[in-house]
Amino acid sequence: MVSLQPVRGTHDLLVDDKRRHVHVEETARAIAARYGFEEISTPIFEFTEVFARTLGETSDIVTKEMYTFDDKSGESITLRPEGTAGVARAFISGGLQQSLPLKLFYRGPMFRRERPQKGRQRQFHQVGVELLGPDKPMADAEVIAMGADFLAELGLAGKIVCEINTLGDTESRNAYRDILVGYFNDFHDRLSEDSLIRLKKNPLRVLDSKDEEDKAVVAGAPTMADSLNDASRRFFDDLLASLEAVGVAYEINHKLVRGLDYYCHTAFEFTTDALGAQGTVLAGGRYDGLIKQMGGPPTAGVGWAAGVERLAMLVDEPPARPRPVALVPVGADTQDKAFTIAFELRRAGLTVDMGYSGNLKKRMNRANKVNAVAAVILGSEEMERGLATVRDMESGEQTEVPFSELLPHMARYR
């Protein structure tokens, strides 16, 4: 019995759930297309190196959350824990620097071996975008605005806020890190165990600790803003101005940091309080150093990824599926004719459902179950007279329609 359960943290997407997912993915793709982004796919597994090198050797994802295995050639393979590294790798191996700037959209499953909880699974799905080439804040603004539009299109504008911060360039970030470490070292005895570890591995992350005592210490900490050099400051100011110009509401959050090493300058998160502890629904930032670090040509980039499961939980109802016309043959001798009519209607663009067995009552029952708009009833008597009975499932009204007029008559149910 145990073997018939899905693996922990994985889920089947049965029809209703799948519809919600598709709705989220399709609106993301539609919005991305509106911004000139084209969809690509990269493999769901890569050589382990691709992720280990780019995500940062100390990140939690690399150290404890990757699904890594040796394949038969002895190569270490990893199921992708996120999308950007694979896209960057594809950019390099595909020689895409010739077609910059590149606007890419992707969607698909990601894998992280975490303890499941609300909004967190071991196999989950993301939609994401990457804008490669431009190093101007206008690009960041475009990408963030696209995220905001996407969420608005899903009807989530009121439930979600956009938080934004800057990590500055390398110089600014290093300067800030030193100041921050100096500050936190004075509070060594007040910081939580977790934060002491963060202080060593990634000091910026102490900033978003949930521990109450840590928060008190963090409240008095110097902010990134004070450590920004002129270029970084201007970059951030220009970005904010661009966002305002296109009407994207945001909140600056000086404590917002990103978990992955490759980010610089812009970091942003769209969050909600409707999902418990996992409130981040769409997040991203700028990663100018990533592609070079992987061995490619120096190439700037900005992007984000959004969690499809989390968004699907927030969306009220996906659009209803189209209501079909039901074909209802009565008696074996009308089967073939009904089958033919079903195809004619389908080829005319109608959604048609025809069952495989059952008497009139059963078939009407099924018509009702599939929420049919109309039923085309065909008995031997009708067939002899060269017509079918069309029943409007809403009103219950029935009309006899000659075969020759069936297509135009049914057009209203399209």
Partner RNA sequence: GUGGCUGUAGCUCAGUUGGUUAGAGCACCUGGUUGUGGUCCAGGGGGUCGUCGGUUCAAAUCCGAUCAGCCACCCCA
Q: Which of 135, 211, 238, 344 is close enough to bind RNA by CB under 7 A?
A: 211
**Using CB under 7 A, which of 36, 38, 101, 118 touches RNA?**
118
Nearest to RNA of 7, 332 (CB atom)? 7
Q: Give the span between the Cα atoms of 308 and 213, in whole angstroms.
A: 34
Stretch that binds RNA, among 159-167, 222-230, 339-347, 361-369 (CB under 7 A): 361-369
Report if residue 63 touches RNA, rule: CB under 7 A: no
Closest CB 228 distance from RNA, rounded Å: 22
Give the residue with the Cβ less far from RNA, 221 or 238. Answer: 221
Asked if residue 49 binds RNA (CB under 7 A), the reply is no
Of 46, 194, 238, 344, the one binding RNA (CB under 7 A) is 194
CB of 75 to RNA, least distance (A): 24
Residue span binding RNA (CB under 7 A) among the ranges 54-62, 149-157, 173-181, 337-345: 54-62
| List 4, 5, 15, 16, residue binding RNA (CB under 7 A) | 5
Contact 390, 352 (CB under 8 A): no
Question: Contacting RNA (CB under 7 A), which of 377, 401, 406, 410?
Answer: 377
List CB contacts of 79: < 8 A, sequence separation 6 or more.
Answer: 44, 45, 66, 67, 68, 111
CA atoms of 202 and 212, how far apart (whole Å) = 19
The answer to whether residue 389 forms part of the interface with RNA (CB under 7 A) is yes
**Buried/exposed code over 212-225 (b: 16+ C-beta within 10 A; e: otherwise):** eebeebbeebeebb
Near RNA by CB under 7 A: residue from 60, 140, 288, 353: 60
Please choose, from the candidates 241, 255, 254, 274, the residue with its C-alpha nearest in 3D space to the C-alpha of residue 160: 274
* By the rule CB under 7 A, 344 interacts with RNA: no
52 binds RNA (CB under 7 A): no
Sole binder of RNA in the list 1, 219, 320, 332 (CB under 7 A): 1
Q: Is 280 in the site for RNA (CB under 7 A)?
A: yes
- Going from the C-alpha of 206 to that of each of 109, 128, 193, 307, 361, the distances in angstroms are 30, 27, 11, 24, 67
* Residue 322 binds RNA, judged by CB under 7 A: no
C-beta neighbour count of 6 within 10 angstroms: 9
Q: Does 160 bind RNA (CB under 7 A)?
A: no
The structure tokens listed for 274 are: 């409707």
Q: Does 309 bind RNA (CB under 7 A)?
A: yes
Task: State the binding string over 214-253 for RNA (x if CB under 7 A, else -).
Answer: ----------------------------------------
Does 119 bind RNA (CB under 7 A)? Our answer is: yes
Residue 46 makes contact with RNA by CB under 7 A: no
Dihedral-angle region of residue 56 (phi above 0 means left; psi in -120 to 50 means alpha; beta otherwise): left
Report the C-alpha gap between 255 and 101 in whole angstroms. Answer: 31
365 interacts with RNA by CB under 7 A? yes
Of the candidates 377, 383, 370, 376, the one whose C-alpha atom is nearest the C-alpha of residue 413 is 376
Per CB under 7 A, the list member of 132, 151, 330, 410 interacting with RNA is 330
- Give residues in contact with RNA (CB under 7 A): 1-2, 5-9, 59-61, 65, 82, 112, 114-121, 124, 126, 194, 198, 205, 209-211, 258-260, 269, 276-283, 305-307, 309-310, 330, 359-362, 364-365, 367-369, 375, 377, 379-382, 389, 391, 393-394, 396, 398
